[in-house]
Structure 1
């Protein structure tokens, strides 16, 4: 497919730079194994006559900054005249990222990355939490003795006998979130509470599944209560017009989102909006990487 498109536009493969960047999943892989994987990937790129670019695992901070750049580029807030930008809260499979603009500098906080786009300087506070991705977080829940309270009734698989309780599931989720004390440090930044955020990736999927666009804690809590009190087969039917991927985890994911956004981060009402696309373009951190690569 790629070769066909290049031929159609009369572009030679050796004029195309191909980079392969790993994220949270690769951060779990040993350095030796990473080196071998990237060596083979680079060899495959060269064998297909493309120009090899970067082959490495990016840091969580980089991932957050790239997503921030992507969102604000698509939103039209990275022009030559500096505008108020949006923050991002992203939940992936293995990690979660939070990023927003700040007036502070890297000398004041190691979580700040300074970048330049269109001759405008930005300081971006970006943090990543390995283990707070949806897949890893759900695995942590299943390791708890009271895990059944995070799954709907009549779900009886994977050593789980669903018996959903919002109160008890919230307590389980909170016990996991307390293992990430740096989450609270984010809230010490004045810019955090002055920012509006886009919920992207897995967080978008969760909020969208429950019909949440830009509601506050009360709105999300009520929707969790209304849907998760249903039996699992009824939730499966509900999911047919939405997202059917891992339906059994939807209630656990929603409680996770609720506790993270409104109890730990204490986001003010209407400061977050679930977004999949901006100006009809899917959100992908890879575009942010490409933009920063061009502005080096």
Structure 2
């Protein structure tokens, strides 16, 4: 029997993809001629919770293929219930309905269900995050799916980057053949940002901080990755810092507003971040808005980002807010993606920021966001003429970390 379907008050997004695209999971020659394995991954992000239901086709002497993905998203994120953890259950139950609708009941008990929370929960005080995750474990434990205490956890930023790298390189075929070069991955979320790539120069491995380097085996090959997550440098967290606020601390005393040169001089409005509502205003600038905003952003990022050496010469895909702001600039189409240069963000920032003197526009934070993106990419070591590929999907499959993380979990489950 499906869980209650009366919960319809939340904002949601959903789609279902039926697509047979080779993923290259390890072979299973002792399996029947054809069978299916399902996996359920919850992505508990800073702004919402998303469910991915994956259906893998397993055939003799062949690598499994992704037969279908069902996706649903609701808002707000788990962190919104930090002070009332019991209330987070409703959204989790609603998304479990999606899984039960998508998977035959005969397969429920053999289907692992996993929730990985990202930056939104990483930024919460430890006890508040623990109470939320305990509530999710309680819901999972009462569901018909396969779960354990380890099925619900906060995902380290590095794991997030590695899982997204696995997803992208699965989908472009970079892991299935030693003849195909892998690509790097840049992800800009709300609370954190990640860079992940496979070094080709031994010097990169030797000179990088030890916790930036990870290794794992796949297809009888060892993959060594450079991966680092910068917590607090996601776009929303950085936006707050540039405006002068402090993460997790409501404004107190006589300070009731944030004033910034990155906003139009006559602008005044409200902005909500991490359940705190701020009054934000532009300031009269003595110099052009872009130059004033650039100084603020450069000060924020000073010595906080490590240049990634050889990454500047490798092919990279960029995701999340890198994609969204390129759409806002009109550099790429929202549905199809495309390519963007670092200089596109720089020139876009100059145009938008200085144009606000005449027309503030509808997106009051676009000047700040574009300036921030252009600076952090250069801090990571990319030149102004560096080109990135932007994609929401590859071969009709979402390019999030969820597929890579599900793959790892199912593989470890099957190997136990």
TM range (shorter): 0.7 to 0.9
Q: Which residue of 1 aligns with 2:197?
A: 100
1:149-170: CA deviation from partner (whole Å, max 9, x where unpaired): 2123542222312667111111
Partner of 1:255, secondary structure, is helix
Q: Which residue of 2 aligns with 1:258?
A: 374
Structure 2 contact 119–191 (Cα < 8 Å) conserved = yes
Alpha carbons of structure 1 residues 171 and 264: separation in structure 2 relative to 1, 3 Å: farther
- Picking from 273, 278, 281, the partner of 1:160 is 281
Range that drifts further, 202-211 or 32-41 = 32-41
Partner of 2:181, secondary structure, is coil
Paired with 1:295 and 1:14, the residues of 2 have a C-alpha distance of 17
Partner of 2:260, secondary structure, is helix
Q: Which residue of 1 aligns with 2:348?
A: 223
Paired with 2:178 and 2:405, the residues of 1 have a C-alpha distance of 21
Structure 1 contact 152–230 (Cα < 8 Å) conserved = no
Match runs of 1:142-157 below 5 Å? 142-143=243-244, 147-157=259-269
Residue segments in structure 1 that go unaligned for 5+ positions in a row: 237-246
Partner of 1:81, secondary structure, is coil
1:34-74: CA deviation from partner (whole Å, max 9, x where unpaired): 33322221110121222114211121111111111111112
Match runs of 1:187-202 below 5 Å? 187=308, 189-190=309-310, 192-202=311-321
Q: Which residue of 1 aligns with 2:49?
A: none
Alpha carbons of structure 1 residues 41 and 10: separation in structure 2 relative to 1, 3 Å: closer
**Does residue 285 of the first structure (1) align with residue 398 of the second (2)?**
no
Alpha carbons of structure 1 residues 235 and 279: separation in structure 2 relative to 1, 3 Å: farther
Range that drifts further, 152-161 or 135-144 = 152-161
**Does residue 44 of the first structure (1) align with residue 121 of the second (2)?**
no
Q: Which residue of 1 aligns with 2:14?
A: none
Deviation at 1:83, TM superposition (A): 2.0
Structure 1 contact 141–147 (Cα < 8 Å) conserved = no
**Does residue 170 of the first structure (1) align with residue 294 of the second (2)?**
yes
Paired with 1:264 and 1:2, the residues of 2 have a C-alpha distance of 39
Q: Which residue of 1 aligns with 2:172?
A: 75
Deviation at 1:16, TM superposition (A): 1.7
1:76-124: CA deviation from partner (whole Å, max 9, x where unpaired): 2110435211111111111111111114497873211112222222111
Paired with 1:29 and 1:220, the residues of 2 have a C-alpha distance of 31
Paired with 2:315 and 2:283, the residues of 1 have a C-alpha distance of 36
Paired with 2:379 and 2:258, the residues of 1 have a C-alpha distance of 21
1:179-223: CA deviation from partner (whole Å, max 9, x where unpaired): 51xx23x33x33x12311111011211122112353434333222
Structure 2 contact 290–354 (Cα < 8 Å) conserved = no
Q: TM-score, normalised by structure 2?
A: 0.61
Structure 1 contact 106–113 (Cα < 8 Å) conserved = no
Match runs of 1:52-131 below 5 Å? 52-53=147-148, 54-103=151-200, 104=202, 109-131=210-232
Alpha carbons of structure 1 residues 147 and 198: separation in structure 2 relative to 1, 3 Å: farther
Range that drifts further, 131-140 or 78-87 = 78-87
Pair member with larger Rg: 2
Structure 1 contact 153–230 (Cα < 8 Å) conserved = no
Q: Larger % of helix: which?
A: 1
RMSD of aligned residue pairs (Cα, Å): 2.7
Q: Which residue of 1 aligns with 2:326?
A: 207
Q: TM-score, normalised by structure 1?
A: 0.84
Q: Larger % of strand: which?
A: 2
